[in-house]
Structure 1
Amino acid sequence: MKRFLILGVMALFAASSLYAQTKGAASQKKEITVKGKLQFTKDPFNRTYVDYGIRLSKGKGDKKVELMRVTPDANGNFSFKVDATNPQLYNLSVYGIEYVDFWAHKDDLTINVRGVDTCRYLVKNPPFVYIEGSEDNNVLNLVSQATYLNYQRMILTYQEDYKAGQTKDSVWHECVRNNIRALDKDLNERIRLIVRMYKDRPTVLYAVNMLDKKVDRELILNTYDVLIKKFPWFTEAKEAKESFLKNENQEKLLAIGAVAPDFTFPNLDGKMVSLKDLRGKLLIVDFWASWCGPCRQETPNIKAVYEKYKDKGLEVLSVSIDKKESDWRKAVEEDKLTWLQLNAKDSKKLMQDYQFSGIPYIILIDKDGKFVAKNIRGEKIEAAVKKALNL
């Protein structure tokens, strides 16, 4: 799931005057209506939702701004108006559980969502949400469905992978591994097709951000150039291209043999710990989060490798990107993680420095703090450790 954390996750573009006929042209105030209905309005377990209601925001990360809160009626219906004078991307947060991005331009929209969580334990595995009413949102619909279906299949496949790993059936285990690789390839192909189909629409940036920046380098840069040429005022396309080239330069600093960027975060006792403090031993660094299913399904693999090679100089460091400290602590306790744990609540710089956009992201660094292996999963973790230890 390296491409979506969505933490999720994806890097989204900010509001801009994309369809103006001339740069800087004055526009009349325009609003569209967004309506929808909650499928579930009552929690069978009578829990109190801290993030009550539906929040409308725009922007991402430290630039995110909440615009309004909407309370559905007794039947779960809701409706509100948003500014579409300049076509732009908005985000809906439904009870802090379900998140939906939508593009506001000229058409009224209908967005039906699940609503409150009816499971005993709150889960961050929201369903696919279809945005009805505009062609522009079809890009978002196609990307969202592709990633949603891929995630569901990946969960099931990793569950099977775990079971296969508990047996001595190597044929079964390798077959499951092939299925995992096939799922990843399938998602890549779907996203590439979406980009090619909608390369002349500003909303295609939503899909471009999911492409493999090495394999799809030419397609990515060509798409940026098409948008920059067709929409000279579309600053997001120009900024995206500049960021892409800047990240390419950053990646050169992350080559195998280069020193891993340092970071400092608090451990479970609140003590600040830096990566450089751990030099002297071979180190697995696992970037993860409590809400990431594939991350926690990877934990048994890390545990097995740690137990097998800890007496030979191997250590493990887990760095959670959980925003809520309580979620992080609970997951550590549930999964019985015995090695050093750090919590990176503000993970933006960390993810930029290490150039990953999805988790789990697992690396191996040597006693001098230099990269030995990157983005390793499953059996590749042990293989990398054995190679580093000359076993």
Structure 2
Amino acid sequence: MKKFLPVAVVLLTLMSFTVIEGIGEYKISGTIDSSFNGKYMYLKESAHIGNMTTIDSALITKGKFTFKGISETPKECFLVIEGKEQEGSVILYTEEGNITVNVNKDTLFNSIVTGTFNNDVMHKFNKLSNEIGKLEKTFIDKNMGEFNKAEVESDTATINRVIEEHQNMIKENNRKYIAFIEENTNALVTIKAFVRLFSDQDKKSSDIKPLFDKLSAQVKETNLGKKMAEHLTKMAEIETAQAKVAINKIAPDFSAPTPKGKILSLKEVMGKVTIIDFWASWCGPCRKENPKVVAMYNELHDKGLNIVSVSLDQDKTKWKEAIKADELTWYQVSNLKGWGEPIAKEYGINGIPATFILDASGKIVAKNLRGEELKAKVKELLAQ
């Protein structure tokens, strides 16, 4: 036993040294079009979005470049070509192993990075994203002309059909992203797939949170992972608020300043039919919709239609200018807190324009109707 202990200690020491020495050592072997010979390729990292720091550089020679370094934990980095900084970058993960980069000189995003776990999974993710991107483009090319024409003609049936078809396509595409997430819970790039899931308007935090919980701690600790956790928390808060303003619920009363500084409450302005309209001076779709709402209000106000608009503006001058320019003669209120508007939070608003249609009792009978659909609903309620 006495003879064995010193030998064991030496073996353990050697084993420890061997493991530690190789931890995080990476080699990046890149190829690029020879027209870039003589330029530098920069390896950069980003602690914050839009703030990249150069950690290494390599001269491009005979269409090749090489980096060597140590990254104790996998880290997202970027390859940027000298003089081409505005044209984007090649994303890769610095991690232990031999990383191969084949730079696409025309579209840097389509460069191929392989050789280590996170880079191989990223390559799969990029292929999936490209595949889905082509499906999106095909759909838009096929339907956008018809959709734009329908908007001009206020053809809500066509608008709704195209939107529904698009959402159905998004749901099908999201099933592919969900499968990818479940197969790659330890890969850093997987967190990026979550961003795509939010394009499905029907997705709830309760749908996404169980997927997020499956991710490894390392993925959750990335900057995007932390932002995703925060977003899911906010999402849950919005959904809780939205449940309180569902169809057939009584609209919560609220009070806020008018442009002249007077405090106005919802209960003061209730009509036979009342529309609560969330908008802002900077919201293009809101401003585009305003002329139709003005025409409807002018026609139906004397019959019992009232409108109260809640603005998500922060600049009082711009708010007042937009009211005047768009000839909005109905009730206007705002706390001028942007997306922090307390009324918007209470009503679970996560996008504008947003509308709630109330009957004479203050019950919410419809939401987010536009154009002729909105006018038809208002007329139906006024006739009751």
TM range (shorter): 0.5 to 0.7
Aligned to 2:352: 359
- CA shift for structure 1 position 296: 1.9
Instruction: Provide Cα deviations, 1:246-281, integer angstroms capped at 9, x if missing partner.
Output: 544433322223232333333222323232332354
Given that 1:154 and 1:180 are in contact with CA atoms closer than 8 Å, whether structure 2 keeps it comes out as no
Query: How large is the Cα RMSD of the aligned pairs?
Result: 4.5
Aligned to 1:163: 152
- CA shift for structure 1 position 188: 5.5
Q: Secondary structure at the match of 1:386?
A: helix
Structure-1 separation of matches of 2:251 and 2:50: 34
Report the residue type matching 1:132 in the other structure: S
Q: Work out whether 1:206 is the aligned partner of 2:195.
A: yes
Unaligned residue ranges in structure 1 (runs of 5+):
1-27, 29-78, 93-103, 112-128, 166-171
Structure-1 separation of matches of 2:348 and 2:254: 14
Q: Work out whether 1:133 is the aligned partner of 2:95.
A: no
Structure-2 separation of matches of 1:205 and 1:335: 39
Given that 1:157 and 1:180 are in contact with CA atoms closer than 8 Å, whether structure 2 keeps it comes out as no
Aligned to 2:215: 227
- Which among 156, 179, 182 is matched to residue 162 of structure 2? 179
Structure-1 separation of matches of 2:142 and 2:283: 14
Structure-2 separation of matches of 1:183 and 1:344: 35
Structure-1 separation of matches of 2:253 and 2:140: 31
**Cα–Cα, structure 1 residues 186 and 317, in superposed 2: closer, same or farther, change >3 Å?**
farther
Q: Work out whether 1:90 is the aligned partner of 2:81.
A: no
Instruction: Provide Cα deviations, 1:110-132, integer angstroms capped at 9, x if missing partner.
Output: 69xxxxxxxxxxxxxxxxx9853
**Cα–Cα, structure 1 residues 243 and 318, in superposed 2: closer, same or farther, change >3 Å?**
closer
Structure-1 separation of matches of 2:173 and 2:286: 24
Report the residue type matching 2:294 in the other structure: K
- CA shift for structure 1 position 332: 2.1
Given that 2:167 and 2:200 are in contact with CA atoms closer than 8 Å, whether structure 1 keeps it comes out as no
Q: Work out whether 1:259 is the aligned partner of 2:250.
A: yes
Structure-1 separation of matches of 2:283 and 2:144: 10
Report the residue type matching 2:76 in the other structure: K
Aligned to 1:304: 295
Structure-2 separation of matches of 1:173 and 1:262: 31
- Give me the TM-score of the superposition, normalised by structure 1: 0.55
- The worse-fitting range, judged by mean Cα deviation, of 245-254 and 380-389 is 245-254
Aligned to 1:107: 77
Report the residue type matching 2:315 in the other structure: K
Given that 2:255 and 2:264 are in contact with CA atoms closer than 8 Å, whether structure 1 keeps it comes out as yes
Unaligned residue ranges in structure 2 (runs of 5+):
1-23, 25-41, 52-73, 94-108, 110-121
**Cα–Cα, structure 1 residues 175 and 252, in superposed 2: closer, same or farther, change >3 Å?**
closer
Identity of aligned residues (%): 28
Structure-2 separation of matches of 1:317 and 1:187: 34
Report the residue type matching 2:358 in the other structure: I
Bigger relative contact order (CA 8 A; separation at least 6):
1
- The worse-fitting range, judged by mean Cα deviation, of 151-160 and 175-184 is 151-160
Given that 1:160 and 1:176 are in contact with CA atoms closer than 8 Å, whether structure 2 keeps it comes out as no
Aligned to 1:33: none
**Cα–Cα, structure 1 residues 268 and 211, in superposed 2: closer, same or farther, change >3 Å?**
same
**Cα–Cα, structure 1 residues 190 and 134, in superposed 2: closer, same or farther, change >3 Å?**
same
Q: Work out whether 1:320 is the aligned partner of 2:311.
A: yes
- The worse-fitting range, judged by mean Cα deviation, of 233-242 and 332-341 is 233-242
Structure-2 separation of matches of 1:344 and 1:152: 41
Aligned to 2:9: none
Given that 1:161 and 1:177 are in contact with CA atoms closer than 8 Å, whether structure 2 keeps it comes out as no
- Give me the TM-score of the superposition, normalised by structure 2: 0.55
Aligned to 1:5: none
Q: Secondary structure at the match of 1:331?
A: helix
Structure-2 separation of matches of 1:106 and 1:283: 51
Given that 2:294 and 2:327 are in contact with CA atoms closer than 8 Å, whether structure 1 keeps it comes out as no
| 1:5-154 pair list within 5 angstroms | 84=47, 90=49, 105-108=75-78, 132-134=89-91
Q: Work out whether 1:374 is the aligned partner of 2:367.
A: yes
- CA shift for structure 1 position 284: 0.8
| 1:238-317 pair list within 5 angstroms | 239-317=230-308
**Cα–Cα, structure 1 residues 280 and 268, in superposed 2: closer, same or farther, change >3 Å?**
same
Aligned to 1:40: none
Count residues with an aligned counterpart. Answer: 273
Structure-2 separation of matches of 1:318 and 1:276: 14
Higher helix residue share? 2
Structure-1 separation of matches of 2:144 and 2:335: 25
Report the residue type matching 2:333 in the other structure: L
Q: Secondary structure at the match of 1:227?
A: coil
Q: Secondary structure at the match of 2:278?
A: strand
**Cα–Cα, structure 1 residues 374 and 163, in superposed 2: closer, same or farther, change >3 Å?**
closer
Report the residue type matching 1:276 in the other structure: K
Structure-1 separation of matches of 2:206 and 2:305: 40
Report the residue type matching 1:178 in the other structure: R
Q: Secondary structure at the match of 1:279?
A: coil
